[in-house]
Every structure is written in C-alpha cells, then in structure tokens.
Structure 1
Amino acid sequence: MNRLRGPIKALLIDLSGTIYIEDAAIPGAIEALKRLRETRIPIKFVTNTTMETRQFLYDTLHKIGFDIQADEIWTSLWAARDLVVSRKLKPYLMLEEAAMADFSDIEFPDGEYDSVVVGLAPSMFDYYNLTKAFRLLLKGAPLIAIHESKYYKKKEGLVLGPGPFVKGLQYAADCKSEVVGKPSPTFFQSALGNIDPRQAVMIGDDVRIDIGGAQELGMQGILVQTGKYRPGDENKISPPPCEVCPNFTHAVEKLLQVIKSS
C-alpha cells in the first residue's frame, strides 16, 4: 500500500457515507473537521448526490452541526447544469423534484428533448420513463450520466444508485454515457482549480468513484470504512488507496501527522 505524503495543499472530502448519513453525522466527524480547519488548507466537499440541491445540502449539514460554507460544496448536479447551459441542450431530466431547483431558470419545452440526463431518481426509474429515455437515445440523443454509482448507504442499508439504470440504457440503446461527476477527472480538477492534483488528497467511502477516480488524476486517496465501504474494497483498485482508515476521524489524524511533518 502507498503511504500518504506531503506537502498537502488541498483536500477534497466526500459527504454522504464519509462524514454523515442521511440526517446524522458519523461519530466524531464534526470535531475532526474542526481540527482539520485549523490547518488552513483549502477544503472542498465533492459529492455525486443528485437528489438534493446544493442549498439543501448546505442547510442539512448546518442543521447537523457541520461548519461548512455553501461555496465549498461541489456537486455533480451543479456540474451537469453547467454542461447543459454551455451546450444549450434541452434534456429529458431523470431527476427527483427536489433536484430540479438547480435547473429552474432553464426552459425545457415538452416533446423537444435533444438529450437525456440521468441522476439518482428512484421515482423516475420505471418502465414508462426509461422507455421514453431509450427512444430518445435511439434517435441519437446523447446520454449524460451525472454519475454511475452502483449503490449508496442509507440507515437501513445499501440501496441502488443510478449506475445500473445508466448501464441498462447504454445496453439497450447501444450507446455510451458521458459521466459528469466523480470519477471524471474533469470533475475533480474543477474542484481543485489551479492546485496540482499531486499535492491534493481525496477522502471518501467509495473505492472506485472517490479514490480510484482521484488517484487516476494523480491525487492521493484515503478510503474510509464507513458508508458504502465493504470489506476488501481496498483491493479492488490498482494502485490501492494511500491509506485505509476506520472512519473520518482516523483519516484526519493521518492527515495531521503528515501535515505536521512536511
């Protein structure tokens, strides 16, 4: 296993499953983040969550007790919105109603769709809506996946993410999706700005989406064994994570040791 090294000039931190689950902080995470803030190293919270807007996430995290600013939250939903605007698309949006607020200022005339955007939308993953998307793809509409996570963690256990439905549409329409969020290198780099990825660290609970994607760009990855983590996940990517920690608190301890010694 690789080992964490300095200097560290930026930190990217996943949200759900890494520092909180639904409406509760992972034990110790609030205090650990406070300690991390004392280093003055820039932090961005990068998430593939597509069921809620950035404002909703900000409000939720503040209610839980996290000291996080709205502009520190980097969502794949917001990145998808930027893509739609920049390309002047009229997409068929497979999103939950709560997520539509990020697209509220864009007009999408019914029946004139030229693309398909898929997020985590359980209420949209039925035969009618999937068939509608499938027919658009057959006509040549591009398929844009906000992300392709296989599953995520809720209090009652693991539940399906949008990935299986994106793959199903790809298979049926014989097409490929363009992924906007993690693990896209573009998404990670946009969160880092001008900072060299080799001097940045990603902390997350998904070994492929969080850690594998970040390390492909040249970042260092710390996998936490909370959220969607399953035993043996650290062996599913090559190179493996730089560090594997029981939780976010232990990950912060590792970081503080490296920061102090570099």
Structure 2
Amino acid sequence: MAAWDKRLAGVRGVLLDISGVLYDGGEDGGAPIPGSVEAVARLKRSRLKVRFCTNESQKSRRELVGLLRRQGFDISEGEVTAPAPAASLILKERSLRPHLLVCDGVRSEFGQIDTTNPNCVVIADAGEDFSYQNMNKAFQVLMELEKPVLISLGKGRYYKETSGLMLDVGAYMKALEYACGIEAEVVGKPSPEYFQLALKEMGVEAHE
C-alpha cells in the first residue's frame, strides 16, 4: 500500500475510458469487463477525482450513462466528457451549420444547432447509417464549399463489441479526407485539446 501511495503522490485525478475499458458494447447493451464496476467504485471512494473520457458517438451522454448505471456503475452524466457535446460547443463558437452524418441516438446533443444550409460536415460513428448514399451526400456537401470543414468525432479504426470487432469512424473520415483532399478536425481522443477539456471539467492540471 505504501508503494502505491508513493506512486500516486501529487496525483489528484483519474481519466477513465469507457468502451473496451469499462464495458464491451453490443446489441443487447453489452457487458461490463470483469472487475471494472468494482474498480470504479474503489476509485470513487478514494481521494481522487474521477472523470470518464470517451469517444462514444453513437449514444447521447444520457443514454450512455443510463446503460452503464444499469450495469452497476456509479456514474453520472456530469462526469462524462464526450465528443458530441464538445463538437456542439465548437459549432456554436464558430457559427458552423453542420450536415450531420451521425446515429439518431446522438442527434439530441445537436438539438440547439442550426443545420440549415450546411457549411460543414460532422461525422461520427454512424453504424448502419454509413451507407453509400449518406457518405456520398456528405462528400457532395464538402465539395460544394469554398473552404470545406470536416469535423470527426474521434478517429478510431475499430472497436470491440460482444459480437466482435466493429469498424469505427476513422475509416470513413479517411475516405472523405481522401475524396475531398482535406484534413478533418478531430474532436475526441487522441486530440490534446479534448484531453484538456476533460481536465478542465475535472478541475485538475495535466501533471496532476
């Protein structure tokens, strides 16, 4: 115990990923990874601040937290840093009107955003909505813009569900980058700005 206390000297907070760390998703809601519920509970009982930092972009924070709570996790919506709310703030700050290529489950996070006459594209893990028709529409919107802006909620290659590995948003982001000759702005891990946002919301510095 003394060894751990020494290692944690000066540490005030812990950032936890969710998918693949706390639970594996799936059509049936997924399942917690063995020991993860207890680990979160133990951290919550410690002196450390805990924040959940995820690239989950198929579900709203409310839906994600509800799922995790049903699996036994001690977690609240206010403890989660997620890419869709972060992207929504960016859209407001820059007066961007997105064409959304996202799952229906996460559209509520953009409820206060004007989506008429789009001047950018926001792409997330759209799952079954990554059809040729939907990808081509996003491509067309970008190609019609003088200065195309593509915002991607994460850039993962794949992730794990209970049924196996699933293709992630990064593959589709790269397709649009290649087709349009542009570079996407990534909102989510591993963007340093995203981690800084999580630290700010947790109230700690990076060295802590």
Unaligned segments of structure 2, at least 5 residues: 1-6
Q: Report the counterpart of residue 80 of structure 1 in structure 2.
A: 87
Distance apart, 1:29 and its partner CA:
1.1
Distance apart, 1:143 and its partner CA:
0.6
* Separation (CA, whole Å) in 1 of partners of 2:108 and 2:54: 17
Instruction: Give the AA of the match of 2:88.
Output: R
What's the TM-score, normalizing by structure 1?
Answer: 0.71
Matched, 1:20 2:30: no
* Separation (CA, whole Å) in 1 of partners of 2:101 and 2:166: 18
Matches of residues 62-141 of structure 1 in structure 2 within 5 Å? 62-109=69-116, 112-138=117-143, 139=145, 140-141=147-148
Distance apart, 1:5 and its partner CA:
5.7
* Separation (CA, whole Å) in 2 of partners of 1:123 and 1:152: 15
Distance apart, 1:106 and its partner CA:
2.5
* Separation (CA, whole Å) in 1 of partners of 2:8 and 2:42: 19
Between the aligned residues of both structures, percent identity stands at: 35
User: What RMSD, in angstroms, separates the aligned Cα atoms of the two structures?
Assistant: 1.4
Q: Which has the higher contact order (CA 8 A, sep 6+)?
A: 1
Q: Report the counterpart of residue 196 of structure 1 in structure 2.
A: 205
Instruction: Give the AA of the match of 2:204.
Output: I
User: Could you list the runs of 4 or more consecutive aligned residues of structure 1 that deviate by over 6 angstroms after TM superposition?
Assistant: none
What's the TM-score, normalizing by structure 2?
Answer: 0.89
Matches of residues 142-153 of structure 1 in structure 2 within 5 Å? 142-153=149-160
Contact in 1 for aligned 2:31/2:162 (Cα 8 Å) = no
Name the SS for the 2:34 alignment partner.
coil
* Separation (CA, whole Å) in 1 of partners of 2:177 and 2:185: 11
Instruction: Give the AA of the match of 2:20.
Output: G
Q: Report the counterpart of residue 35 of structure 1 in structure 2.
A: 42
Distance apart, 1:83 and its partner CA:
1.0
Name the SS for the 1:183 alignment partner.
coil
* Separation (CA, whole Å) in 1 of partners of 2:59 and 2:13: 25
* Separation (CA, whole Å) in 1 of partners of 2:49 and 2:8: 17
Unaligned segments of structure 1, at least 5 residues: 200-262
Instruction: Give the AA of the match of 1:198.
Output: H
Q: Report the counterpart of residue 239 of structure 1 in structure 2.
A: none
* Separation (CA, whole Å) in 2 of partners of 1:44 and 1:123: 30
Distance apart, 1:186 and its partner CA:
0.8
Name the SS for the 1:85 alignment partner.
helix
* Separation (CA, whole Å) in 1 of partners of 2:165 and 2:43: 29
Q: Report the counterpart of residue 4 of structure 2 in structure 1.
A: none
Q: Report the counterpart of residue 3 of structure 2 in structure 1.
A: none
Distance apart, 1:122 and its partner CA:
2.0
Equivalent pairs counted in the alignment come to 194
Distance apart, 1:96 and its partner CA:
0.5
Matched, 1:174 2:181: yes
